[in-house]
Amino acid sequence: MALHNWAELNGWEGAHLLWMTELLRHIKSELPSGYRAYLGSGPAVAIGAPTARPDVSIRSQAPSTAVAAVASHLPENGWAEMKPDVEVAVASLELDPALLIERDGRLIAAIELISPRNKDRPVARTAYAFRYAGYLLEGVHLLLVDVHPRPAGFSFADQIALQLSIPNQPALPPAMAVSYRVGEPAATGGRFLAIWRYPLTIGGLLPTVRLPLTIDLSVPVDLDSTYGRAAADAYLP
């Protein structure tokens, strides 16, 4: 089925869930014995969090003098009666489910379908760029699919290349798909990263792409037929 122009359509939430379900059914039929596919949450990566374990120990002890001093100034009911300077409602990040593949209890690969809310605000773009790059830093192969052309000039593929300092990467604006294979250790440190880039065309058919499971093994992911079945169930013309 031809890829819809999602800049002009509503109903992505339903189509997204249906497409993920179709991808799950498709992947299950392609996986070798010993691999398991399921829908779940991707890795949580804290923005700006330290990567090293703090060189401190924590133990239970009596309140410090400073804590006791603060406590002495609390109302009778403690923190419950302390009024904040301001209390406002702020936007939260809603985590979309990812298609995850594991073997022997270890996460091996993931497929992520990008939603418009993943990139509608600077904080969302930053958080999700860290989430997607986090797979690769953890040694997990990744297939990232973005069929939403807005906002113009922004691409998670470009952001991942920037975060991981990948040189000489031409821009890959959405609509696009990109597949990453995390390889063997490199002599200069880190690991080799193989990248397959798939520009997508609004109104065109979607390709069959490869999802790596190991350095030497991958499975085909038929984006077109899975998208077509999801679009039909979502009553998209």
Residue 131 belongs to a domain? yes
Count the domains in the chain: 1
Residue 20 resides in a domain? yes
- Give the type of residue at 113: L
On whether residue 84 sits in a domain, the answer given is no
- In-domain check, residue 91: no
Structural domain includes residue 203: yes
Spatial distance between the Cα atoms of 132 and 111, rounded to a whole number of angstroms? 10
Q: Considering the domain boundaries, does residue 114 fall inside one?
A: yes
Query: Would 102 be classed as within a structural domain?
Result: yes
Residue 111: partners with Cβ closer than 8 Å, 6 or more residues away: 23, 27, 98, 99, 142, 143, 144, 145, 211, 221
* pLDDT by 10s per residue, the chain, length 237: 899 999 999 999 999 999 999 999 999 999 999 999 999 987 654 334 333 333 333 333 444 444 444 445 555 555 556 677 777 655 566 678 899 999 999 999 999 999 999 999 999 999 999 999 999 999 999 999 999 999 999 999 999 999 999 888 899 999 999 999 999 988 888 889 999 999 999 999 999 999 999 999 999 999 999 999 999 999 888
Q: In terms of residue numbers, what domain contains 148?
A: 12-44+96-233
Cα separation, 172 vs 134, whole angstroms: 20
Is 72 inside any structural domain?
no
Classify residue 18 by its DSSP letter.
Answer: H
What residues form DSSP beta bridges with 99? 39, 111
